[in-house]
Amino acid sequence: MLLKNNIPFYDASYISLATSLKAPLASEDEDILNVAPKHGVRIMRLKEIRSVLKQGLT
């Protein structure tokens, strides 16, 4: 994934872990936003996280 997508090691690590755990990934990083969905990883943007947190507080 790292070489194929030309992304930093740490971004590839986050995507790989999210794939293994079948978990969403919270990020605003452009590399992650572009590559993760290609590997079946759901991305949660900051705006979505804020919305979820607000719903939990009310």
Q: In order of start, what are the domains of the chain with their CATH numbers? A: 2-57 (3.40.50.1010)
C-alpha to C-alpha distance for 25 and 33, rounded to whole angstroms: 9
Q: What b/e sequence results for 36-52 when a residue is b if at least 16 CB atoms lie within 10 Å of its CB, and e otherwise?
A: beeeebebeeeeeeeee
Q: How far apart are CA 53 and CA 58, in angstroms?
A: 9
Task: Tell me the whole-structure pTM to 2 decimals.
Answer: 0.80
Tens digit of pLDDT per residue, the chain (58 long)? 656 788 999 999 999 999 999 999 999 999 999 999 999 999 999 999 999 888 877 6
SS3 26: strand
How far apart are the C-alpha atoms of 48 and 50, rounded to whole Å? 5
